[in-house]
């Protein structure tokens, strides 16, 4: 392991969440109400549930970690603008299913102005919303829509409003806000990236022929949890040999074979912020010549893309740069034929590189925020976080030169746009051939 451990960032304070709520409310129409339900527990089988994961929008505005909660924002409301509904304290239930925060502590520790237990929703919610005619919620969230519809029926049947209630999409406004990360968020993203990087180094150093893909997954996920991450930000992909050509391969149940590459795409979720790293390396610690040749093509494209990250550029411009590098490399290796400009015009490299180069990164691994603005590709701004993840996936088909068949390579790093360029958060995991081989040689010596 060549990554020394950094200290974790301080936890976010209640004031950080309050500032986010203020910013959101500042952009709303008059007479607004915002309704944001938190996540609910989901049944896994019989009476077991999936591990609870708070809804990202709700977390962004509250930091409140329990299921079945609801945030209501009422700009200008005299009794307080931020109102939380949460699970009731219940000593019998808490004995079985865990301690609950309750309304009293929610106010004291999470900085909301008012808090009620969920049992009070039927009485309190219609009163709070009376007279508010512009309701903001996520229109694609079935829980939020069901709540809004039932409240609207209640309010109109009681004639507590005579003007129509307008439902507007809260997502667009809130997701614009989430797209630009604050300094506090960047510290959390850096730490998620750091844990992810340590985990990748650990898996790389542990790899050897005869292990199973899931044993490398265990190395990664051990490191995630050991360093305080919730676990993975998504299902870890450990794809050896031809499995790497399946983009979302998650079976991870094949043996690692000498002479194959293994592609690992995995990232930690730390305080709900995601890391997202991919590295591809030889199972036995040494690239073969054809593997190295293809790998250097992807690495060159990735380096060019990382260097291109700066305010003012766009993701399609970076993607075009990657496609140019990959196409040049594929022509040089004989995997494509023809003139460079013709190949680019026809998108010839899509056969080997079918996905995008980047996505936003944050509380969600494929984070929110529009990819276009006013109908045009959005220009990068300082504080945006994104991935750079070119790859080549060469099918095992007769028209492909034999030495390249069934090789899949992706190299993915996490980057924050700074005022003058990009800060790569994940450079602690080697991506140069010599550095990978050196780390693996050290790992095999242990």
Binding site for ligand GLY (CB under 6 A): 234, 265, 276, 359, 365, 389, 412
CB of 161 to Mn ion, least distance (A): 45
CB of 81 to ligand GLY, least distance (A): 36
**Any catalytic annotation for residue 366?**
yes
- 269 touching Mn ion, by CB under 5 A: no
CB of 426 to ligand GLY, least distance (A): 12
**Any catalytic annotation for residue 222?**
no
Query: How many angstroms separate the most distant Cα atoms in the chain?
Result: 77
**Any catalytic annotation for residue 378?**
no
For 344, counting Cβ atoms within 10 Å of its Cβ (0-12 exposed, 13-18 middle, 19+ buried), the class is: middle
Q: Which residues have C-beta within 8 Å of that of residue 55, sequence separation ≥ 6?
A: 36, 37, 38, 39
Piece of 155-163, 168-176, 276-284, 295-303 that binds Mn ion (CB under 5 A): 276-284
The residue annotated as part of the active site, out of 117, 185, 276, 367, is 276
Element (H, E) at 309: none
Closest by CA to 361, choosing from 186, 184, 174, is 186
**Any catalytic annotation for residue 276?**
yes
Sign of CA dihedral 13, 136, 24, 267: positive
Contacted by 358, from ligand GLY, Mn ion, none: CB < 5 to 8 Å by type:
none
The residue annotated as part of the active site, out of 110, 359, 413, 414, is 359
Alpha carbon distances (Å) from 176 to 23, 55, 118, 136, 298: 11, 17, 30, 15, 32
CB of 138 to Mn ion, least distance (A): 23
- 387 touching Mn ion, by CB under 5 A: yes
**Any catalytic annotation for residue 355?**
yes
CB of 263 to ligand GLY, least distance (A): 11
Nearest CB to ligand GLY, comparing residues 117 and 412? 412
**Any catalytic annotation for residue 176?**
no
102 φ/ψ sector (left φ>0, alpha ψ -120 to 50, else beta): left
Contacted by 321, from ligand GLY, Mn ion, none: CB < 5 to 8 Å by type:
none
Vertex 267: Cα angle to 44 and 326 (nearest 5): 125
Alpha carbon distances (Å) from 157 to 127, 147, 308, 431: 14, 16, 58, 63
- 276 touching Mn ion, by CB under 5 A: yes
Piece of 127-135, 322-330, 407-415, 419-427 that binds Mn ion (CB under 5 A): 407-415
On whether the CB atoms of residues 384 and 309 are closer than 8 A, the answer is no
- 428 touching Mn ion, by CB under 5 A: no
**Any catalytic annotation for residue 47?**
yes
On whether the CB atoms of residues 318 and 309 are closer than 8 A, the answer is yes
**Any catalytic annotation for residue 260?**
no
CB of 62 to ligand GLY, least distance (A): 27
DSSP for 162-199, please give it: -SPPEEEEHHHHHHHHHHSPPHHHHHHHHHHHHHHHHH
| Secondary structure of residue 247 in the 3-state scheme | coil
**Any catalytic annotation for residue 265?**
yes
Contacted by 234, from Mn ion, ligand GLY, none: CB < 5 to 8 Å by type:
ligand GLY
The residue annotated as part of the active site, out of 328, 389, 413, 414, is 389
Nearest CB to ligand GLY, comparing residues 66 and 276? 276
How far is Cα 35 from Cα 300, in angstroms, rounded to an integer? 47
What is the distance, to the nearest Å, from the Cα of residue 364 to the centroid of all Cα atoms in its chain? 3
**Contact positions with Mn ion (CB under 5 A) in 300-339:** none
| Residues designated catalytic | 47, 248, 265, 276, 355, 359, 366, 389, 393, 410, 412
* Contact positions vs Mn ion (CB under 5 A): 265, 276, 387, 412
């Amino acid at each position: 392991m060549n990554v020394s451990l950094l200290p974790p960032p301080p936890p976010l304070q209640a004031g950080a969440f309050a500032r986010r709520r203020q910013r959101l409310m500042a952009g709303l129409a008059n007479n607004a109400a915002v309704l944001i339900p938190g996540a609910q527990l989901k049944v896994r089988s019989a009476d077991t549930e999936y591990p609870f994961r708070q809804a990202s929008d709700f977390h962004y505005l509250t930091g409140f970690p329990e299921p079945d909660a609801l945030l209501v924002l009422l700009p200008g409301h005299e009794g307080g603008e931020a109102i939380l509904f949460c699970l009731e304290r219940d000593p019998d239930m808490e004995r079985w299913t865990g301690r609950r925060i309750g309304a009293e502590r929610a106010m004291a520790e999470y900085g909301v102005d008012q808090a009620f237990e969920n049992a009070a929703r039927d009485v309190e919610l219609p009163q709070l919303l009376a007279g508010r005619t512009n309701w903001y919620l996520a229109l694609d969230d079935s829980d939020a829509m069901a709540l809004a519809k039932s409240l609207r029926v209640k309010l109109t049947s009681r004639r507590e409003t005579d003007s129509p209630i307008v439902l507007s999409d809260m997502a667009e406004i809130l997701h614009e806000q989430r797209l630009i990360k604050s300094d506090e968020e960047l510290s959390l993203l850096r730490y998620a990236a750091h844990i992810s990087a340590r985990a990748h180094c650990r898996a790389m150093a542990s790899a050897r022929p005869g292990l199973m893909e899931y044993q490398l997954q265990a190395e990664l996920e051990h490191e995630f949890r050991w360093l305080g991450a919730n676990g993975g930000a998504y299902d870890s992909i450990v794809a050896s040999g031809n499995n790497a050509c399946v983009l979302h391969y998650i079976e991870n149940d094949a043996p690692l074979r000498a002479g194959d590459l293994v592609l690992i795409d995995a990232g930690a979720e730390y305080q709900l912020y995601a890391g997202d790293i991919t590295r591809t390396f030889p199972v036995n610690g040494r690239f073969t010549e054809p593997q190295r040749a293809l790998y250097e093509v992807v690495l060159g494209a990735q380096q060019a893309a990382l260097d291109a990250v700066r305010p003012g550029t766009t993701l399609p411009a970076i993607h075009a740069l990657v496609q140019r590098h990959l196409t040049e490399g594929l022509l040089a290796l004989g995997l494509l034929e023809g003139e460079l400009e013709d190949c680019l015009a026809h998108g010839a490299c899509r056969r080997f590189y079918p996905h995008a180069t980047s996505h936003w990164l944050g509380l969600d691994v494929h984070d929110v925020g529009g990819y276009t603005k006013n109908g045009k590709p959005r220009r990068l701004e300082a504080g945006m976080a994104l991935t750079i993840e070119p790859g080549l996936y060469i099918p095992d088909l007769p028209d492909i030169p034999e030495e390249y068949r069934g090789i899949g390579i992706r190299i993915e790093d996490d980057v924050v746009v700074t005022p003058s360029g990009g800060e790569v958060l994940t450079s602690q995991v080697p991506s140069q051939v010599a550095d990978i081989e050196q780390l693996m040689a050290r790992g095999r010596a242990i």
